[in-house]
Amino acid sequence: MSHLLEVEGLTTVFTGDYGETTSVDHVSFHVDEGEVVCIVGESGCGKSVTNLSVMGLLSRGGKVTEGKVLFEDRDLLAMTEKELDKIRGDQMTMIFQDPLTSLNPVFTVGNQIMESLQIHRGLSKDEARKQAEELLSRVGMPDAKSTMKKYPHTLSGGMRQRVMIAMALSCKPKLLIADEPTTALDVTIQAQIMQLLKELQKENKMAMILITHDIGLVAHMADRVIVMYAGQIIEEAPVRELFRHPKHPYTKALMDTVPTIRDTAERQLKAIPGIVPESYDHIPGCRFADRCSYRRPECDKPQENYEFGDGHMARCIVRKEGGIQDES
Ligand SMILES: Nc1ncnc2c1ncn2[C@@H]1O[C@H](COP(=O)(O)OP(=O)(O)OP(=O)(O)O)[C@@H](O)[C@H]1O
Ligand SMILES: [Mg+2]
């Protein structure tokens, strides 16, 4: 069976004043129907650019130079903007960290959801109004009827994000890409919104790519996890397997940064020493090598993602050759 979304060798380059930089380097992954895939990794590792490339929403200066993005076997990169528009916001859609950038300030919330329903689902105005109200109730807006008449800036951050989710779901997408949808919100609201997303994802059997910094959230939400580092995928595994047996030293370090319930005040977040290299496209070998305590000479040669069985892959030659053992 083919996948809902299949990304093969995706490479995205930005051209700026100082020449070209490769932000996403030969990234390959897939998402199946109804599956939740989380993408994790430190700031600047290419999570957003990967997904903006998939959606065809790169900002100016950004260009996909290699690779394929197949959605239900159709190559999105080969489509015209018009063809792409039919799929975007309809069968696949994206929500962002800050809903104000996606909501139009001069239209009411009701108008915006209704418009989406009229365009993508071909509903009449009355049908669209009814459905918009239902959607707003479903995402937990206390008084859907009066919310319909409000403008985005008059709502709180959490309420705006609920409106965005209602809009994203208005077209019943097969795939929702959520790029850190709750980071701008306070912790209790974050939990409510994520719970809502999870319920809606199950209810609609929708596939979801969730980009997050929050490893705790990954454990709660993901079926499968992709770990990115410096523009590359360095590990991929089903969620339980990844938490139990992380293979790449970077993933292991990432897991160790999660505070557990038994944590004492002294053992708070353990930061990974060093930083993601600012520019990484000139590094031929393992891009984590500089920060890695297992570094060997072979790490500086070009790397690949090695198979560890049961859908587990990691880009670590030392691990593959038995130089690092699983902890039990
Ligand atoms: N518009 C742009 N022009 C030039 N470079 C860009 C642009 N957008 C992103 N980049 C570069 O691409 C790389 C990947 O950025 P990206 O935004 O995908 O990171 P990220 O993993 O989403 O980080 P964060 O967790 O902070 O959101 C970074 O090095 C960034 O500087
Ligand atoms: Mg990002």
47 lines ligand 1 (CB under 6 A): yes
Query: Which of 47, 49, 218 is the pocket-test mutation for ligand 1 (most atoms within 8 Å of CB)?
Result: 49
- Ligand 2: distance of its center to the CA of 94 in Å? 13
The answer to whether residue 55 is domain-embedded is no
Query: Which of 47, 50, 55, 278 is the pocket-test mutation for ligand 1 (most atoms within 8 Å of CB)?
Result: 47
The answer to whether residue 193 is domain-embedded is no
From the number of C-beta atoms within 10 Å of its C-beta (0-12, 13-18, 19+), residue 137 rates as middle
Mean pLDDT of 234-252: 95
User: Which residue has the CA at smallest separation from atom 27 of ligand 1?
Assistant: 43
The answer to whether residue 194 is domain-embedded is no
59 lines ligand 1 (CB under 6 A): yes
The answer to whether residue 48 is domain-embedded is no
User: Which residue has the CA at smallest separation from atom 18 of ligand 1?
Assistant: 46
- pLDDT tens across 154-204, in order? 998 888 989 999 998 888 899 999 999 888 788 888 888 889 899 999 999
The answer to whether residue 131 is domain-embedded is no
- pLDDT tens across 135-167, in order? 999 888 889 999 999 999 999 888 898 999 999
Total structural domains within the chain: 1
Q: Annotate 278-296 with b (16+ C-beta within 10 A) or e (fewer).
A: eebbebeebbbbebbebbe
Mean pLDDT of 28-55: 95
In which domain, by residue range, is 322 found?
Answer: 223-328
Asked if residue 203 lies in contact with residue 34, where contact means CB atoms within 8 angstroms, the answer is no
User: Which residue has the CA at smallest separation from atom 3 of ligand 1?
Assistant: 14
pLDDT over threshold 70, residue 238: yes
62-71, strands of its sheet edge to edge: 19-31, 5-16, 62-71, 74-75
Ligand found nearest the CA of 43: 1
Compute the distance between CA of residue 41 and CA of residue 21 in angstroms, rounded to an integer.
19
For residue 16, name the pLDDT band (cuts at 50, 70, 90).
Answer: confident
From the number of C-beta atoms within 10 Å of its C-beta (0-12, 13-18, 19+), residue 309 rates as exposed
Which pLDDT score, from 0 to 100, does residue 299 have? 97
Query: Which of 15, 23, 282 is the pocket-test mutation for ligand 1 (most atoms within 8 Å of CB)?
Result: 23
For residue 259, name the pLDDT band (cuts at 50, 70, 90).
Answer: low
For residue 258, name the pLDDT band (cuts at 50, 70, 90).
Answer: low
pLDDT over threshold 60, residue 328: no
User: Which residue has the CA at smallest separation from atom 31 of ligand 1?
Assistant: 44
The answer to whether residue 127 is domain-embedded is no
The answer to whether residue 45 is domain-embedded is no
pLDDT over threshold 70, residue 263: no
216 lines ligand 1 (CB under 6 A): no
Asked if residue 291 lies in contact with residue 285, where contact means CB atoms within 8 angstroms, the answer is no
For residue 69, name the pLDDT band (cuts at 50, 70, 90).
Answer: very high
49 lines ligand 1 (CB under 6 A): yes
For residue 272, CA distances in Å to 163, 252, 255, 269, 290 come to: 36, 10, 10, 9, 12
- pLDDT tens across 105-137, in order? 899 999 999 998 998 888 999 999 999 999 999
Asked if residue 232 lies in contact with residue 287, where contact means CB atoms within 8 angstroms, the answer is yes
Which pLDDT score, from 0 to 100, does residue 265 have? 44
pLDDT higher at 266 or 233 = 233
48 lines ligand 1 (CB under 6 A): yes
The answer to whether residue 274 is domain-embedded is yes
pLDDT over threshold 80, residue 252: yes
Which pLDDT score, from 0 to 100, does residue 324 have? 87
17 lines ligand 1 (CB under 6 A): no
pLDDT higher at 326 or 252 = 252
Which pLDDT score, from 0 to 100, does residue 270 have? 53
- pLDDT tens across 266-325, in order? 444 456 777 777 788 889 999 999 999 999 999 999 999 999 999 999 999 999 999 888
Count the residues in the chain: 328
